[in-house]
Structure formats: C-alpha cells, structure tokens
Amino acid sequence: MKQLELLHEGKSKLIYATDSAERIVVRFKDDATAFYNIKRAKIQNKARMNCEISSMVLGYLNENGVKTHFVERLDDEAQLCKVVKHIPVEVIVRNVIAGSMAKRLGIEEGIVPENTIFDLCLMDERLGDPLINDHHAVALGVVTYEELAEIYAASARINSLLVELYAKVGVKLVDFKIEFGRSDDGALFLADELTPDTCRLWDVESGEPLDKDRFRRDMGRVREAYEEVAKRLHNALNK
Ligand code: UDP
C-alpha cells in the first residue's frame, strides 16, 4: 500500500491518501497541544509511543469483536486504517470524575460514580466542541436516536474491554474520548486513536497520571509516562 498525498493535518496526526480508496495512512506526530492550541510543545518519542499504544489497543479491540478502523501498523509512527464516513460527535466515557466534569460540576477529582458516565460533544472547534445532549444531536441532524443507542452500546463495550486491559497492567482507566464513523455498508466503526493523549490513565499504586495531564498541568516526565504505558501494554499483550 503506497502513501500518497496529505489529506488532512490535525494537531497530533497527519492523514494521507493511499492507492486504495478504502484505506488511509494515519501518521502520528510528536506535537502536543492543549487548551485549543494555547499550549504547544513537542514531546520527543510521542509519535512512536502513541502509534505503538494505539495499534496495540485497537488491535486488542478488533480481536475482541469491536469494529475499529485499524488495519495494521506500517512503521514506527504510522498505521494503515479503513476509510469511514466520520460522525461529527465525540463520546467521552468517564469511570472516575476528573477534568472538565470535575470543574463544571464542582466535584472533586478522583470520585468514582456508581454509573458509567457518557458525555456527548459536538465536534466544532469554533464552538469549543460543546457538550450537547441526545436531543440536540438529533435536532442538529448529525445522528438519529437509533444511531445514538448503537454508539452508546459500542462505547460501553469498548470501556469494559479497556478497563479490563488496563487493570491487568496496574492502570486505572479514568476517562477517554472516542469518535466513530460508518463504512459504506452502514456498519459502525471506532475511528480514532486510543492513547495517553485521549485517555486519562492513573497508576493504581501511586495514583500518578500516566497521560497528557502531565503536559497540560506541567507535571514533567511526560515522555516517560507514555513509554511506561507502552511497556506495560507490551508485556500484557505479548506484542
Ligand atoms: N479528550 C480528548 N479530546 C478532547 C477532549 C477530551 O481526547 O477534545 C479526552 C481527555 O484527554 C480526557 C477525556 O477526554 O481523557 C475527558 O476530557 P475532559 O472533558 O475532562 O476535558 P479536559 O479536562 O481535557 O479539558
């Protein structure tokens, strides 16, 4: 499969066309941004670690019957992925209260709710990807109620599998963000990375974050945290 022209440059990834209309190349970058680009830096080795982590995690989901866009890892920093029609919403799954939810509702970080929380956000950077509810999403014409039910069911399944995987490596999966797309035949696919850029991962023993909060909150040892996650997943998945 040949990598052809650049289709899109995002904050942490580049998307390239290939010689197949059904495949794209996702190439990870070392760039880190936070707070809508206000904070920027390059984190050495992040592209490689994120490619490795996301390839392992999406591969694990594929093996467990979750449809994801991941096909195979191509090199240190790139994956071959399936082309899907993107659905312009983000789902945030929360097992532990942290980040924007803690702030918005005045809840202490670290509290474990009795139920899993699913946030729905509209993907629109000009508006700051606002939190919306199901009715807003349907009224905006981006999804139907039936599609939402399918998206929440897939998100719950992905969450269970990831909680189980991370528990095996001494990591608490606090929250994560995912996006979906549809293939030509209408099947729902997870079409996103799953990395410490998009997940909150707390070391069970020390409670220390092993994710992008180390960058957002100037905690230091960002690169080491990503490398630690990759190393633990390697051991658990024998990759
Ligand atoms: N997240 C993300 N992209 C976004 C927003 C959130 O990957 O545009 C991830 C974030 O890394 C965290 C989870 O989703 O793991 C929940 O983020 P939150 O809503 O708490 O926002 P934040 O604290 O990052 O502003």
Which class for 130: exposed (0-12), middle (13-18), buried (19 or more C-beta within 10 A)? exposed
Give 18's strand partners. Answer: 3
**159 C-alpha vs ligand 1 centroid, how far in Å?**
15
129 close to ligand 1 (CB < 6 Angstrom): yes
- Nearest atom (ligand 1) to Cα of 216: 24
**186 C-alpha vs ligand 1 centroid, how far in Å?**
28
Apex CA 178: angle with CA 76 and CA 197, to 5°?
Answer: 50
Pairing of strands 85-94, 78-82: unpaired
Contacts of 228 (CB under 8 A, 6+ apart): 210
- The pLDDT tens digits along the chain (239 residues) read 899 999 999 999 999 999 999 999 999 999 999 998 899 999 999 999 999 999 999 999 999 999 999 999 999 999 999 999 999 999 999 999 999 999 999 999 999 999 999 999 999 999 999 999 999 999 999 999 999 999 999 999 999 999 999 999 999 999 999 999 999 999 999 999 999 999 999 999 999 999 999 999 999 999 999 999 999 999 999 86
Which contiguous run of DSSP H or E holds residue 93? strand 85-94
96 close to ligand 1 (CB < 6 Angstrom): no
